[in-house]
Structure 1
Amino acid sequence: MLPILRRGAASLLAAALLGVAAPVALGPAPALAADCAAPGRLSAGTSWARAMLSIDAVTSFSRGDGVEVAVLSTGVRAGHRQLTGRVLTGRDAVTGNGPADTDCTGAGTQVAGVIAAAATANGPVTGLAPQTTVLPVRVVPDTGSAPSAADPAQLARGIDFALQGGADVIVVAVPAYQDTTALRQAVASAVQKDVPVIAAAGDLGSAQDGNPAPFPASYPDVIGVGAIGEDGKTYGKSQHGTYVDLVAPGVAVPTLQGGDGAAQALVEADGTALAAGYVGAAAALVRGRSGKMPVADLTRLLTASASPAMTGDGFGAGVVNPYAAVTGRLTAKKERALPALVPSAATRSGAENERRRAAFTGAAIAAVAVVAVLMVTAAIRRSRRQHWRPATAPPLAEYEEPIEPGPPVMLLDRSSEPSS
């Protein structure tokens, strides 16, 4: 078996003579000057993603030491100051051979930045897993324009190259929009080797773009990732569907840029590729602390430890929570049902019976009082409707009576008084 060599004329010549593809380099690649992506401007001196994901706290437990993360995109700029010494030569899956440690477009370097950028004094960009090694695999042409889709054949080849290069985690930053047997087989091979595939959900989620099904994110064994902003809402172009398992920062994220030779070029970028980079870095942290585990277990750990997010098919299980994933543990034990409880017959003492009688008496008195209040209230309301007002009856009339009766008066006698 041929040893894996560093990139150079000797390795290419040996590959040509033996009729095999050029091997993937495992040693750090030298800086090249083939980059042409221009750096951008940062709107803030801090990174909101750094605070949301508690990057400074989680790196106390794991920094991704000894873990190799493959970034499948346009390549990665090996000469960036914050990536120096941790970017391998990689492989170009578009042409089938050659290195991938340059990045004219800058898309792959942006993803590598959120994964593995080393911290700088007062710098806004810090990778979530700053001690990981980046294996760049070019799966789309590095033409200077950001790609929206990859060819499924080149993407399948890129996954195979990543496995050949010893990747522990594979981040697919550019999806394909065709389901092919070769791509399915490449993903199945990675899963069989316990290498998780974390794939961007894609940036065609707007109404005019139609939200097509992305691959390999749509495969059941792949962790599909959507993008959110600082407000917790999904990125306007982030694709949505049942294939979204997690979300991560992907709007106005400060990260690294290829640049035209500026070793410290930075930029603010958007997209699900950056979000997939953060989830890939979280997987690298878990592997760095807990070692290799089946893809199904890693997926369950990342989704179970996710922070709550808004509801909808664009959020999956929630926001990736690296701190909870790294400090959490999986258990193989199944939930046990509680044993059935049979209540015992209660024996009442004399005191208990006395308390029950007192309670019953009090309840009866309270019920009578409530009924009385209700009746009085009803009577008052009825009297008011009939304009009745309560008052005291007037006293009876009193007449003076003589002490002795007068002489009798004869009704038929004539009056003795002369008439006038």
Structure 2
Amino acid sequence: MRRPIRTVTVTAACVGVLLVGAGGPGAAVHAAVRSAVDCADPGQPINPVPWPQQMLGPERAWPFTQGGGVTVAVLDSGVDAHHPQLAGRVADGFDAVAGGGSANDDCLGTGTQVAGVIAAGQAPAVGFVGLAPRVWILPIRVLDERGASGGVAAPDVLARGIDAALSWNADVLAVSAVSYTDDTRLRDAVARAVSRGVVVVAAVGDRGDEQATGIIPYPAAYPGVVGVGAIDEAGERWRGSQQGSFVDLVAPGGAVPTLQRGAGMTVVNGTGVACAFAAGAVALVHARRGDPQADEMVRQLLATAVPAAGGDAYGHGIVNPYGAVTDRVAGNGPEPLPALVRPPAEASPAWARSRELAIAGSVVALLVVLTVLVTAVAMPRGRRRLWRSASAAAPANRVEPDEPGPPVSLFPAG
């Protein structure tokens, strides 16, 4: 992620003030060294609602949950705990680079940018707000504050940071820093997180516009990790977002407004802020479901994604916070039908009574039909005979003569 920087000159007088006010020589020297580093400038006010919020619509999920009770660890450069939109919701954290100490300050600013996308609260006259504005942020510093790493963390430092997040009982890990070394220590730390039911969401790296191929980002490429790529406002792959089978989801990562260390906001690019959108969605699902299984949350996140252009640059699609919170995803396969049960040999009394009623009804219906048919035939005939008996009179008894009679002339003479 690109950011403006400024040069700060620390005089001996400044160091003296730090020695007096910091509560001890060690803390004072550490603070003086940090102040002498080229730290990112504070941001500027950005009032309109940013395009990622308009695209994802997280406010539709807030009537159900805003992420309260969930801890999201941000593995980056630390988080500015004094930013007005994060104040009161950032833990001390752990500095994995130094091997000890807190991480609730941020010289580079990238960790604050990620934390802002996840958890920034509402501020007057500011349209920007995080996806899960009530989560608790646990900052884990894994990037050297001098900025020479370019967003790339040493694998052993990342492993130490993941273990620290687990010791703080983080529910979700947002690993916005990337390593390009497959290291056993990092692989084992990720496996420990997955085995404990912690969802690990990781950026897939910002080297997509380089000519070299086969650049594998870790921990995004490890099993059980949700790898997140970046898209721009048009829904197309941000040019720096890496492509490969390690991409499970995409989220806004091109020209994204977010918080900046010190105060105000800035506009950044990168898969690190895209990772933050996915981690915020996981936090919402976690808070909504109570204490769900990690694989259930991952399946919910992937199954509710909005279809994208396709290919290994987009994974399952665009993260969908509202759908992830409200939709119900079916299980892995269809439910089996219940087994057929043979009816008992002896019919129940109710069945016998129903049978008797059916037979009686059939007899009555047959009689009615016969009556109707007989009536239909008899009525016309009765009317024709004026309702007289249809029996014929007995024939007359005529006696035939034994001898024939005289001949009869058929044609009498003129």
- TM norm. shorter chain > 0.5: yes
The separation in 1 between residues aligned to 2:222 and 2:174, in whole angstroms, is 14
Please tell me the residue identity of whatever aligns with 1:127.
Answer: G
Cα distance in 1, alignment partners of residues 208 and 267 from structure 2: 20
Match of 1:397 in 2: none
Residues 21-40 of structure 1 show CA distances to partners (whole Å, capped at 9, x for unaligned) of xxxxxxxxxxx989931134
Deviations 1:85-142 (CA, angstroms, capped at 9, x unpaired): 0000000001110110111100000000000000123313200000001000001111
For 2:85, what is the secondary structure of its paired residue? helix
Is contact 1:211-1:240 (8 Å) kept?
no
Aligned ranges 1:196-207 → 2 under 5 Å: 196-207=199-210
Q: Tell me if the contact between 1:42 and 1:254 (Cα under 8 Å) persists in the aligned partners.
A: no
- Which residue number corresponds to residue 270 of structure 2? 271
- Does the aligned pair in 2 maintain the 1:37–1:144 contact within 8 Å? no
Match of 1:51 in 2: 54
The equivalent residue for 1:390 is none
Letter in 1 for 2:299: R
State the SS of the aligned residue for 1:49. helix
1:92 matches 2:95: yes
Distance 1:86 1:273, change over 3 A: same
* 1:243 alignment partner in structure 2: 246
- Equivalent position amino acid for 1:222 in 2: V
Contact 1:221-1:295 within 8 A present in 2 as well: no
Q: 1:315, 1:59 → 2: CA distance?
A: 26
The alignment partner of 1:83 has SS state of: coil
Counterpart in the other structure of 1:77: 80
The answer (yes or no) to whether the contact 2:46–2:126 under 8 Å persists in 1 is no
Pair 1:60-2:79 in alignment: no
RMSD after superposition: 2.4
What aligned pairs does 1:12-31 form with structure 2 within 5 A after superposition? Answer: none
* Alpha-carbon separation, structure 2, partners of 1:210 and 1:106: 29
Aligned ranges for residues 360-379 of structure 1 at < 5 Å? none
CA positional deviation for 1:205: 1.0
Aligned to 1:228: 231
TM-fit CA distance, 1:9: 7.8
Secondary structure of 1:170's counterpart equals strand
Q: Which amino acid aligns with 1:280?
A: A
Contact 2:143 2:151 in 1 (8 A): no
1:292 is displaced (CA, Å) by 2.2
Structure 1 CA distance for aligned equivalents of residues 142 and 216 of structure 2: 19
Amino acid at match of 1:289: R
- Which runs of structure 2 are paired with 1:349-368 in the superposition (5 Å)? none
Mapped contact 1:103–1:109 kept (Cα < 8 A):
yes
Q: Where does residue 156 of structure 1 map in the other structure?
A: 159
Deviation at 1:207, TM superposition (A): 3.0
Q: Could you tell me which residue of structure 1 aligns to residue 196 of structure 2? A: 193
Write the deviation string for residues 289-345 of structure 1: whole angstroms up to 9, x where unpaired. Answer: 102222221111100000010011110000000100000224447315899xxxxxx
Q: Is the 8 A contact 1:106 1:144 kept in 2?
A: no
**In structure 1, C-alpha distance between the alignment counterparts of 2:311 and 2:181, rounded to whole Å:** 25
Asked if 1:174 corresponds to 2:177, the answer is yes
Distance 2:47 2:239 in 1: 21
Deviations 1:136-185 (A, max 9, x none): 00011111467231100000000000001110000000110111111111
- The aligned residue for residue 379 of structure 1 is none
Give the AA of the match of 1:182: R
The within-5 A match list for 1:270-309 is 270-309=269-308
Given that residues 226 and 248 in structure 2 are in contact (C-alpha distance below 8 angstroms), is that contact kept between their aligned partners in structure 1?
A: yes
Cα shift at 1:46: 2.5
Q: Cα deviations across residues 360-396 of structure 1 (Å, max 9, x unaligned)?
A: xxxxxxxxxxxxxxxxxxxxxxxxxxxxxxxxxxxxx
8 A contact 2:46–2:264 mirrored in 1: no
The 8 Å contact of residues 128 and 282 in structure 1, kept in 2 or not, is answered as yes
Amino acid aligned to 1:167: A
Q: Amino acid of the residue matched to residue 58 of structure 1?
A: A
* Corresponding residue SS for 1:244: coil
Q: Which residue of 1 aligns with 2:222?
A: 219
> Is the CA contact 2:118–2:130 (under 8 Å) kept in the aligned structure 1?
yes
**Separation in 1, partners of 2:84, 2:45:** 18
TM-score, length-normalised on structure 2?
Answer: 0.70
SS in 2 for 1:158: helix
Summarize deviations over 1:170-217 as a string: whole Å, max 9, x none: 000011011111111111111111100000001011133546100010
2:390 aligned partner:
none
CA contact (8 A) 1:202 1:239 kept: yes
Aligned match for 1:138, one of 113, 116, 141: 141
Aligned residue for 1:155, secondary structure, equals helix
Unaligned runs of 5+ in 2: 1-21, 28-33, 339-414
Q: Distance in 2 between matches of 1:269 and 1:172?
A: 17
Provide the C-alpha distance between the structure 2 equivalents of 1:177 and 1:291, rounded to a whole number of angstroms: 35
**1:119 — aligned with what?**
122
Equivalences for 1:313-324 in 2 at 5 Å? Answer: 313-324=312-323
Across the two proteins, how many residue pairs are aligned to each other? Answer: 309
Relative distance call for 1:333 and 1:251 in structure 2 (3 A) is: closer
TM-score under structure 1 length normalisation: 0.69
Q: Deviations over 1:254-278 (max 9, x none)?
A: 100013xxxx321011100001001
Secondary structure of the residue aligned to 1:248 is strand
* Deviating more after overlay: 176-185 vs 70-79: 176-185
- The percent of aligned pairs where both chains have the same amino acid is 47
Q: 3-state DSSP class of the match of 2:93?
A: strand
User: Is this contact kept in 1: 2:113–2:259, CA < 8 A?
Assistant: yes
